């Protein structure tokens, strides 16, 4: 039986950095059995190979607060969620803020679970001249204490060994320690913590922190009503422009690898259905989504750096003023920011919002925030709109995020003035110290998110790619008389003019592809639904792509490749996946992605509720299908109308 250890601590104690340091990439997102509450579970290995499962719980200030995350942590420690009580607890304290952290530790230790205390960021404390006595701390707290630095790795081996020993020995906190019975923040608890602090910490050379005034100035700038917003917009623009620019190189490499793989498979396998399925269905379909992995990795890497630097908490206040004008509480900032990764965790994070109306308004506008599944679609369409101009494409990319945000906020204002009237809850937030972000931690987070994306690509997207290939490959159509005539001409001139013969064969092949596409099941579905999408400039192929992307937005590029891309590659040129999709044509030979169609589609994807899993989660979180249905209808109408006007203007 692998011991289970709950990881607990105040926010901003470096708990997640420690979790990443202890488990590396051996972690996964999981739900507590029988519940929808997500958490990270990681496997930690001792030097002797013993395994331990670490449960990363949310950062909380007290186990007794009437807040969802506090209740979750208390339930986990008491065995009310998950597989019973954990075997041990790892309490993470910030060495630079011990007085408050000790009060939290006391309230957790009072529950009697075998525990180890990790005093984190001791390197920073030592730089300030504060020295922690581990032995005295163990005696004062009644459990083993290890001083660590999750960033540098100092003390990590000793911590792992101690965790292993405590989880095996089942040693509960010493009964001789009189932990305060009142909650953290009470006078009794503060006095107990002050006494313990005096016994365990020495500060012979503690420096008055000169940076405080610099911190004050930075805080004033980053939370300023005007400067703060300007800085926020600049920061986000820089972030997305750099994602766009930096990602193009690895994207080309991924594209090349898939191209090489497709050619390899094509040369090895005999011609036929199986080869067609492998090359056009599996390899081509997967490549159209996986090619965007570098952008996903970069987005999460840079966001993790920003969060670690301490800036994002200030940004929350900078945007709070704006959000409040639209009737959203400051607590909505983090769920809405999380929705930029994926609306599902964002919607689930709204549980932290205490007011029901605030929470409902946040849930209803969260899908307007551009999620990572939209990144492939944005990248493709902005690339078409601004071909060869990466800076302009980067700004357009940012514009998509801004558009989603603005329409989301306007919707929130509308909701709060109509069906969700009522006051908002004020935001109180701890502002972590500014610091150099940890590259290692950001890399771990980015790789973790990237693996989730790949897992999705390997399951849902692969299945859809195969289904789409089948729908577009069957029923088989007979070559058209026109194509047969061209083929015969090619045979006639083959001896005298091989170049013309080759061109004629390509032409005939393209005609066959078109006949096949329009006669296939996908073509028939597209033809039925296309009139509804014609006003926003979509043809049969794009209609099918939009319809299938309702299952997962990133499937759009895959579907376009499978439906149109494979056909346009018939001229024998060795094009990459992106180039293939961009150069795809309609039945009448007109480019599939014109400026007007690209703009219309881009706006449609920014604003439309093209995500079935999100609707299911909204129904679950609101306890009714009424809200997701309202959300779907509202977003679809807004998206369709905006796309219609964009198409008309650009045409």
Query: Which of 51, 157, 430, 573 contacts another protein by CB under 8 A?
Result: 430
Q: How far is the CB of 324 from another protein (least distance, A)?
A: 8
- What is the rounded distance in angstroms from the CA atom of residue 233 to the CA atom of residue 218? 17
CB-based contact 605:590 (threshold 8 Å):
no
Query: Which of 223, 331, 520, 568 contacts another protein by CB under 8 A?
Result: 223
Query: Which of 264, 426, 458, 535 contacts another protein by CB under 8 A?
Result: 426
Stretch that binds another protein, among 39-47, 82-90, 430-438, 552-560 (CB under 8 A): 430-438
Residues near 104 by beta carbon (within 8 Å), at least 6 away in sequence: 9, 10, 60, 61, 62, 63, 91, 93, 184
**Contact between 330 and another protein (CB under 8 A)?**
yes
CB-based contact 341:449 (threshold 8 Å):
yes
**Contact between 431 and another protein (CB under 8 A)?**
yes
123-152 b/e (C-beta count within 10 Å ≥ 16 → b) = bbbbeeebbbebeebbbbbbbbbbbbbbbe
Q: How far is the CB of 314 from another protein (least distance, A)?
A: 8
Query: Which of 32, 300, 317, 401 contacts another protein by CB under 8 A?
Result: 317
Burial of 423 (0-12, 13-18, 19+ CB in 10 A): exposed
Stretch that binds another protein, among 43-51, 317-325, 385-393, 566-574 (CB under 8 A): 317-325
Query: Which of 110, 158, 168, 215 contacts another protein by CB under 8 A?
Result: 215
Neighbour order of strands in the sheet with 115-120: 27-31, 38-45, 51-56, 4-9, 88-94, 115-120, 145-147
Residue among 432 and 628 whose Cβ is closer to another protein? 432
Residue among 428 and 436 whose Cβ is closer to another protein? 428
Number of residues that bind another protein (CB under 8 A): 39
Stretch that binds another protein, among 81-89, 420-428, 535-543, 601-609 (CB under 8 A): 420-428
Q: How far is the CB of 223 from another protein (least distance, A)?
A: 6
**Contact between 320 and another protein (CB under 8 A)?**
yes
Residues 158-177 that bind another protein (CB under 8 A): none
Residue among 211 and 455 whose Cβ is closer to another protein? 211
Query: Which of 78, 123, 126, 183 contacts another protein by CB under 8 A?
Result: 183
Residue among 11 and 390 whose Cβ is closer to another protein? 11
**What does the block give as tokens for 212?**
């405080």
Per the rule left: phi > 0, alpha: psi between -120 and 50, beta: everything else, 377 is alpha
Q: How far is the CB of 105 from another protein (least distance, A)?
A: 13
Residues 61-80 that bind another protein (CB under 8 A): 61-62, 64-67
Query: Which of 3, 9, 184, 565 contacts another protein by CB under 8 A?
Result: 184
DSSP 152: T
Burial of 413 (0-12, 13-18, 19+ CB in 10 A): middle
Residues near 297 by beta carbon (within 8 Å), at least 6 away in sequence: 446, 447, 449, 450
Query: Which of 26, 275, 321, 620 contacts another protein by CB under 8 A?
Result: 321
**Contact between 226 and another protein (CB under 8 A)?**
no
Residues near 448 by beta carbon (within 8 Å), at least 6 away in sequence: 25, 27
**Contact between 190 and another protein (CB under 8 A)?**
yes
Q: How far is the CB of 321 from another protein (least distance, A)?
A: 7
CB-based contact 348:31 (threshold 8 Å):
no
Residue 214 CA, distance from chain mean position: 33
Query: Which of 38, 134, 219, 276 contacts another protein by CB under 8 A?
Result: 219
Residues 331-360 that bind another protein (CB under 8 A): 354
Question: x-or-dash pattern for another protein, window 103-142, by CB under 8 A?
Answer: -x--------------------------------------
Residue among 354 and 498 whose Cβ is closer to another protein? 354
Query: Which of 51, 216, 482, 574 contacts another protein by CB under 8 A?
Result: 216
Stretch that binds another protein, among 279-287, 311-319, 366-374, 633-641 (CB under 8 A): 311-319
Residue among 79 and 423 whose Cβ is closer to another protein? 423
For 360, other C-beta atoms within 10 Å of its C-beta total 20
User: Angle, nearest 10°, between helix axes 390-417 and 227-268?
Assistant: 120
Q: Rg of the chain over CA atoms, in angstroms?
A: 29
Q: Which residues pair with 56 in a beta bridge?
A: 7, 40
Query: Which of 28, 138, 152, 185 contacts another protein by CB under 8 A?
Result: 185
**Contact between 210 and another protein (CB under 8 A)?**
no
Residues near 334 by beta carbon (within 8 Å), at least 6 away in sequence: 316, 349, 352
Residue among 95 and 305 whose Cβ is closer to another protein? 95
636-649 b/e (C-beta count within 10 Å ≥ 16 → b) = eebbbebbbebbee
**Contact between 100 and another protein (CB under 8 A)?**
yes
Query: Which of 313, 393, 407, 611 contacts another protein by CB under 8 A?
Result: 313
Select from 539, 530, 537 the least CA-distant residue to 604: 537
Q: How far is the CB of 126 from another protein (least distance, A)?
A: 14
Residues near 188 by beta carbon (within 8 Å), at least 6 away in sequence: 180, 181, 182
Angle at 243 between CA 242 and CA 244, to 5 degrees: 90
Half-sphere exposure (Cβ direction) of 439: Cα atoms closer than 13 Å = 0
578-605 b/e (C-beta count within 10 Å ≥ 16 → b) = bbbbbbbbbeeeeebbbebbbbbbbbbb
Residue among 48 and 213 whose Cβ is closer to another protein? 213
The number of residues making up the chain comes to 651
Residues 469-508 that bind another protein (CB under 8 A): none
Q: How far is the CB of 219 from another protein (least distance, A)?
A: 5
For 9, other C-beta atoms within 10 Å of its C-beta total 28
Query: Which of 187, 267, 495, 499 contacts another protein by CB under 8 A?
Result: 187
Q: How far is the CB of 127 from another protein (least distance, A)?
A: 13
**What does the block give as tokens for 286?**
């997967």
| E strand map for 487-566 | none
Task: List residues near another protein by CB under 8 A.
Answer: 61-62, 64-67, 96-97, 99-100, 104, 183-187, 189-190, 212, 215-216, 219-220, 223, 313-314, 317, 320-321, 330, 354, 426-433
């Amino acid at each position: 039986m692998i011991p289970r250890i709950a990881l607990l601590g105040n926010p901003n104690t470096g708990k997640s950095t420690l979790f990443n340091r202890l488990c590396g990439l051996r972690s996964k997102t999981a739900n507590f059995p029988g519940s929808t509450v997500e958490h990270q579970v990681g496997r930690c290995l001792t030097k002797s190979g013993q395994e331990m499962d670490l449960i990363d719980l949310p950062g909380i200030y007290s186990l007794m607060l009437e807040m969802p995350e506090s209740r979750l942590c208390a339930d986990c420690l008491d065995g009310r969620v998950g597989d019973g009580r954990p075997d041990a607890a790892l309490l993470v304290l910030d060495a630079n803020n011990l007085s408050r952290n000790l009060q939290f530790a006391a309230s957790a230790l009072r529950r009697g679970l075998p525990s180890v205390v990790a005093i984190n960021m001791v390197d920073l404390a030592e730089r300030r001249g504060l020295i922690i006595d581990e032995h005295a701390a163990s005696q004062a707290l009644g459990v083993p204490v290890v001083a660590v630095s999750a960033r540098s790795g100092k003390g990590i081996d000793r911590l792992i060994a101690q965790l292993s020993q405590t989880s095996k020995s089942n040693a509960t906190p010493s009964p001789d320690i009189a932990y305060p019975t009142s909650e953290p923040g009470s006078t009794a608890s503060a006095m107990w913590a002050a006494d313990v602090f005096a016994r365990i910490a020495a500060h012979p050379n503690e420096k008055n922190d000169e940076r405080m005034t610099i911190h004050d100035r930075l805080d004033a700038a980053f939370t300023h009503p005007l400067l703060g917003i300007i800085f926020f917009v600049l920061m986000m623009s820089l972030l997305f422009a750099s994602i766009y620019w930096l990602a193009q190189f690895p994207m080309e490499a991924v594209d090349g690898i898939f191209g090489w793989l497709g050619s390899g498979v094509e040369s090895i396998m005999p011609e036929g259905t199986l080869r067609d399925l492998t090359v056009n269905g599996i390899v081509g379909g997967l490549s159209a989504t996986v090619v965007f992995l570098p952008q996903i990795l970069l987005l999460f890497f840079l966001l993790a750096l920003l969060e670690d630097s301490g800036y994002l908490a200030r940004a929350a206040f900078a945007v709070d003023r704006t959000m409040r004008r639209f009737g959203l509480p400051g607590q909505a900032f983090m769920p809405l920011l999380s929705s930029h990764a994926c609306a599902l965790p964002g919607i689930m994070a709204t549980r932290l919002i205490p007011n029901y109306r605030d929470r409902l308004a946040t849930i209803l506008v969260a899908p307007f925030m551009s999620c990572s599944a939209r990144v492939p679609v944005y990248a493709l369409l902005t690339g078409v709109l601004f071909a060869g101009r990466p800076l302009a494409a980067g700004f357009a990319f940012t514009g998509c995020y801004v558009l989603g945000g603005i329409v989301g906020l306007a919707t929130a204002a509308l909701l709060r003035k109509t069906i969700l009237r009522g006051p908002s809850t004020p935001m109180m937030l701890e502002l972590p110290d500014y610091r150099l972000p940890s590259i290692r931690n950001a890399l771990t987070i980015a790789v973790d998110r990237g693996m989730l994306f790949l897992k999705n690509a390997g399951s849902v997207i692969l299945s859809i790619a195969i289904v789409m290939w089948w729908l577009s490959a069957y029923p088989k159509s007979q070559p058209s008389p026109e194509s047969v005539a061209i083929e015969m001409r090619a045979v006639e001139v083959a001896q005298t003019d091989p170049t013309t013969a080759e061109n004629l064969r390509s032409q005939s092949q393209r005609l066959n592809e078109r006949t096949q596409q329009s006669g296939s099941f996908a073509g028939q579905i597209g033809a039925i639904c296309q009139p509804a999408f014609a006003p926003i400039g979509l043809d049969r192929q794009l209609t099918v792509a939009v319809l299938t992307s309702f299952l997962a937005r990133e499937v759009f590029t895959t579907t376009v490749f499978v439906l149109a891309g494979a056909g346009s590659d018939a001229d024998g040129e060795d094009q990459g996946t992106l180039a293939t999709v961009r150069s795809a044509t309609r039945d009448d030979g007109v480019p599939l992605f014109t400026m007007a169609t690209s703009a219309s589609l881009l706006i449609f994807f920014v604003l439309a509720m093209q995500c079935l899993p999100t609707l299911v989660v909204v129904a679950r979180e609101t306890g009714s299908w009424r809200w997701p249905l309202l959300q779907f209808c509202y977003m679809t109408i807004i998206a369709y109308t905006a796309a219609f006007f964009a198409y008309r203007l650009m045409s």
